[in-house]
Amino acid sequence: FYTSLLDHPVNPLNEVLITNGAYQALFYAAFAFINHGDEAIIIEPYYDCYEPQVRMAGGKPIFTSLKLEKKKVAAGSSGDFKLDFSELENKVTPRTKLLYLNNPLNPIGKVYNRDELMQIAAFVKKHNLIVVADEVYEWLVYEGSEMIRFASLPDMWERTITIGSADGLGNLF
């Protein structure tokens, strides 16, 4: 199923890990890739477990906020929140190992477009980072938005830990 979504073969024997929910999978990702003193970039707003899990693994969370793009219209949408790449560049250090990417973003519902994801991909490639792609709400995308899975982008398969969840599938809990 995911082979067709990602346009890449998925080997269930060594590329899939079944966990007791996304929380446990995120925990494993933090402990697998963060050593004492390493850093993880977390984009705000974020799912509440990222920060404590990074800290429990001995790492240091580094925060960068989405910025509301100024528009001439009064009403905006979650798509108006943008990542400031110059700020992001200033946050990365030689100790930075991970970038947490929640897409679609809970709680604001932002779905990153292809251009934004390609910029993030270029950034992580430049800095040799692993992306923890929290995509548990991949099926809750409004009409007019396209869910692009980060691992499907060029050169991102080997740099991406994709987190999915049956709970997120139907927003059950």
Kindly report the CATH number assigned to the domain that includes residue 107: 3.40.640.10
Task: Show the domain range for 105.
Answer: 2-70+84-166
Is the Cα torsion angle 96, 61, 86, 158 positive or negative in sign?
A: positive
Q: Is the pLDDT of residue 122 over 90?
A: yes
Q: State mean pLDDT over 101-107.
A: 89
Answer yes or no: is 35 within a domain: yes
Q: State mean pLDDT over 8-27.
A: 74
Q: State mean pLDDT over 21-29.
A: 84
Answer yes or no: is 172 within a domain: no
More confident residue, 120 or 28: 120
> What's the pLDDT score for residue 71?
63
Residues 168 and 23: beta-carbon distance below 8 Å: no
Amino acid of residue 19:
T
Answer yes or no: is 33 within a domain: yes
Q: Is the pLDDT of residue 37 over 70?
A: yes
Q: What are phi and psi of 53, to 5 degrees?
A: -70, -40
Answer yes or no: is 130 within a domain: yes
Q: State mean pLDDT over 80-109.
A: 93
> What's the pLDDT score for residue 173?
46
Q: State mean pLDDT over 101-128.
A: 94
Answer yes or no: is 173 within a domain: no
For the chain, the domain total comes to 1
Tell me the C-alpha distance between 49 and 51, whole Å.
6
